[in-house]
Amino acid sequence: MVESEKMGGVKRFRERDEAPFAGDHKKQRGGVQFKYGNEREQFKDQKFTRGRGRGGVIQGGSWGRGRGRGSHGVDRGGKMEGLGKMEESVEILNEVTGRHKEMKERKERRKHREGQGGQAMLIQKAKTVWEEARRKKCSVEKRNELVEDIVSMAASKMKELSLCHDSSRVLQCCLRFGNKNQRQQILSELTPDILLLSKSKYGRNVILKLMKYERRNAVLQVLKAVRGNACRVLRHSCASTVLQTAWENGSATERHQVLGELYGKTYSLLMQDPEKCLGLQAFKGVPHFGTVLEDLRKLLLSLTSKETLLGFSLVHHLLLDFLENSDSTMRSEMIESVRETCVYMVHTKNGARAAMMCLWFGTAKDRKVIIKTMKTYVEKIATDEFGHLVLLAAFDCVDDTNILAKIVVAELIAAVERLIWDKRGRKVLLYLLQPRHASHFAPSLVSFLIKGDVNPNSKKEASRRHSELRTATWPGVAAFAASVVPALAQSPGGAPLLAALVESASNAGDEGEHDARPIIEAIAKAAAVEFVPGGVDGELHMAEHPAGHLLLKRLLKVEGGRQTELASRLLANVGPESLARWSFVNRGAIVLCCFLKHSPPSATSSVVSALKSLVPQLEAKLSSQPSNCQSLPSGNPAVKATGERTMMNGGIAALLQNLGQKGLK
């Protein structure tokens, strides 16, 4: 009886596990039966097979013995061979265990969803409809129907749906494709829980989408919800984004109310008009000003420890107001706390100004840290609307020009091909070549940069500092500019850069100074193209181009040893006869006037001789000028010379006057 039961168990075991061996069950060991003893050696190298119990393992010659149902049996008494095979078996076990844990976690999540009652089924149905509604191929009519279905089935459950990852995406899709009534329905249901949803990782995305698509109504509700909790909301990692977005889209009165709350309780008590926030400047002489300043200092120190918050324009406004109105001690403390993250706030107007103040009033160590944080971001900062002003401030105050040359100037030179065509990047290059030059920088910008000249930490003379930076910048910019002179000469922004390169270069013969002759030669060759009045295929000649003729005029007026060099190169490349033909267009005549006025007689004599034969044609062109064209003032020299008050050919009139003074007319 016992023997038959045992045989039946072995048979069932073999059928279940599909054992590859057959034989006398009495000689079975470890779940495998051998009829003869030498069969053990024959199958000793078997890599992996089943043991006696569930999960039994045989590893590279070590035969496993089952340790009960569901356990992993390993025979530790046998001699273990092949560590590589053993490690592979362990990896298999770990993989099986990992899958088991993953399945267990999925089961627990499923139970959690089922325990939520009808909400899990609602999410599943909404996601099914959402998958069809968010497709690009879905028609507008069909999408409107699907959105209406989602909104109707999610009624009174939108708060719970906003707190989940997948269902919050469904509501965002409804806000994107829904109509005004559907958006208003979602907003009205979520209004009581705006503060709670703003602090949620997924709920804040729904609030942000509400402010994006519902605009004014959603902004009003958000600002109303955060009133009285602005400081705590601004410190929150998730809710701070909601407050920043609402503050940017709010009216002036609403922005002032938020700022007044952030300045602290003392400020709110002292502020007479809650609809106007005049900042710290309005309370600078008040006895409680120190308390207000201390409250703002504590708030800013808690905010500057988080890099993400330093990207908000709301924080930039508070920081700039604090730096402008605090004393030197508190300002130094604040600069030290933000110097390593200063690069994150240069993209806004107030943030860039705050960064400029950190450079102006920071110590040499503070400035060094700020410059180092700009590494790999210099090109992006140079092309930013406000960030490029921070670089200009650094060029004005940082005495360590070596670190500026290694980090800032080096990256600018590496990206010169892109910066030279960008209006802000080009302005940074121009500031390195000709700082605060009236031709390139507006008086308002220069007056703002002058505020940093009185800082107490800059010891080096400004002329020496700019000279060292120019020495590091000029070769790289000039090398690239010389290769694209024709394109730059006919660009409204590129022509001034060529002029700045030539003007900022010193005499070529002096030791250690720059040679502008390659640029001048390239300009002369570009001007040697055949002159055709009106241009060819829409491309004007340099002498007739609005930017090109100003470049030639400006370079001919340059004082120094190169003032005759451009004239001589023009004569060599263009020729006197071709130069004289420039006089048939007004801008070309203006260039010739500068040529005759600022070049020596040795260079102008041949051009004057060529112009002598063209005087009758020029006078005939002036006489054929329409009478209804705009006129010059009566006191203009061109009017006295020609007797006509024409503006269209004022350059030709001035050229004839110049020739008349030379006795050729």
> What's the pLDDT tens digit per position in 171-221?
999 999 999 999 999 999 999 999 999 999 999 999 999 999 988 999 999
Residue 155 has pLDDT above 50, yes or no: yes
Residue 214: CA count within 13 A, CB half-sphere: 28
Residue 602 has pLDDT above 70, yes or no: yes
d(CA 226, CA 469): 49
CB distance 334 to 326 below 8 Å: yes
Predicted pLDDT at 316: 94
Predicted pLDDT at 405: 95
Residue 60 has pLDDT above 50, yes or no: no
123 falls in which pLDDT band (50, 70, 90)? confident
3-state helix, strand, coil in the chain (%, to 5): 65, 0, 30
Predicted pLDDT at 509: 41
pLDDT, average across residues 424-428: 95
In the chain, what percentage of residues exceed pLDDT 70?
Answer: 77
d(CA 97, CA 620): 100
d(CA 190, CA 182): 13
Which of the two residues, 75 and 525, has the higher pLDDT score?
525
Q: Tokens for 658, please give them.
A: 């110049």
pLDDT, average across residues 368-392: 95
Alpha helices of 236-288 — where are they, by DSSP H? 239-249, 252-262, 265-270
Say which residues have a Cβ less than 8 Å from residue 581's Cβ, sequence separation at least 6.
Answer: 531, 588, 614
Residue 72 has pLDDT above 50, yes or no: no
Q: What is the DSSP string of 645-659?
A: --STTHHHHHHHHHH
Predicted pLDDT at 83: 55
* Virtual torsion, Cα 422, 424, 426, 432, nearest 10 deg: -160
Residue 258 has pLDDT above 80, yes or no: yes
d(CA 193, CA 206): 12
CB distance 545 to 539 below 8 Å: no
Q: Tokens for 107, please give them.
A: 């089961």
Q: Is 154 helix (H, G, I), strand (E, B) or coil?
A: coil
d(CA 117, CA 112): 9
Distances (CA, A) of 49 to 39, 73, 156: 15, 12, 58
Question: What counts of helices (H) and strands (E) characterise the chain?
Answer: 39, 2
Would you call 516 exposed, middle or buried from its count of C-beta atoms within 10 A (0-12, 13-18, 19+)? buried
Predicted pLDDT at 84: 60
Q: What is the DSSP string of 264-277?
A: -HHHHHH-S-TT--
Per-residue pLDDT tens digits for 510-538: 444 678 889 999 999 999 888 888 888 88
Q: Calculate the average pLDDT of the chain.
A: 81
Predicted pLDDT at 85: 62
d(CA 400, CA 460): 9
Residue 435 has pLDDT above 90, yes or no: yes
* Highest mean pLDDT pick, 414-423, 510-519, 627-636: 414-423
Task: Name the strand (E) or helix (H) holding 129.
Answer: helix 118-133
What residue type is 298 in one-letter code? K
Say which residues have a Cβ less than 8 Å from residue 239's Cβ, sequence separation at least 6.
Answer: 195, 198, 199, 204, 226, 233
CB neighbourhood size of 262 (10 A): 24
Per-residue pLDDT tens digits for 575-584: 888 888 888 8
Predicted pLDDT at 627: 45
Q: Tokens for 411, please give them.
A: 């990256």
Question: What is the longest distance spanned by two Cα atoms in the chain?
Answer: 144
Report, in angstroms and rounded to the nearest whole number, the Rg of the chain calculated over CA atoms. Answer: 41
In the chain, what percentage of residues exceed pLDDT 90?
Answer: 48
Predicted pLDDT at 393: 96
Would you call 475 exposed, middle or buried from its count of C-beta atoms within 10 A (0-12, 13-18, 19+)? exposed
d(CA 523, CA 426): 19
What residue type is 273 in one-letter code? D
Among the residue ranges 368-382, 476-490, 501-515, the one predicted with the least confidence is 501-515
Predicted pLDDT at 564: 54
Predicted pLDDT at 18: 46
d(CA 62, CA 47): 10
Residue 93 has pLDDT above 60, yes or no: yes
Q: Tokens for 57, please give them.
A: 């393992």
pLDDT, average across residues 460-477: 93
Distances (CA, A) of 486 to 390, 498, 500, 532, 551: 32, 11, 16, 17, 12
* Virtual torsion, Cα 305, 310, 316, 318, nearest 10 deg: -30
Predicted pLDDT at 270: 79
Predicted pLDDT at 647: 52
Of the chain, the end-to-end C-alpha distance in Å amounts to: 143
Task: Please list the residues that pair with 33 across neighbouring strands.
Answer: 28
Predicted pLDDT at 28: 43
Residue 47 has pLDDT above 70, yes or no: no
Per-residue pLDDT tens digits for 104-118: 777 777 666 555 555
Which of the two residues, 385 and 648, has the higher pLDDT score?
385
Would you call 97 exposed, middle or buried from its count of C-beta atoms within 10 A (0-12, 13-18, 19+)? exposed
Residue 271 has pLDDT above 80, yes or no: no
**Closest CA relative to residue 357, chosen from 402, 316, 406:** 316
Which of the two residues, 136 and 56, has the higher pLDDT score?
136
In this structure, are strands 32-33 and 28-29 parallel, antiparallel, or unpaired? Answer: antiparallel
86 falls in which pLDDT band (50, 70, 90)? low
Say which residues have a Cβ less than 8 Å from residue 109's Cβ, sequence separation at least 6.
Answer: none
Sign of the dihedral through C-alpha 337, 341, 344, 348: positive
24 falls in which pLDDT band (50, 70, 90)? very low
What residue type is 83 in one-letter code? L
Q: Tokens for 232, please give them.
A: 């705590």
pLDDT, average across residues 155-171: 90
Task: Name the strand (E) or helix (H) holding 28.
Answer: strand 28-29
Residue 253 has pLDDT above 60, yes or no: yes
pLDDT, average across residues 347-352: 94
pLDDT, average across residues 269-274: 73
Per-residue pLDDT tens digits for 137-150: 899 999 999 999 99
d(CA 235, CA 309): 8
Predicted pLDDT at 267: 85
Residue 165 has pLDDT above 70, yes or no: yes
What is the CA 515 to chain-centroid distance, rounded?
Answer: 36
Which of the two residues, 442 and 22, has the higher pLDDT score?
442
Say which residues have a Cβ less than 8 Å from residue 130's Cβ, sequence separation at least 6.
Answer: 146, 150, 169, 170, 173
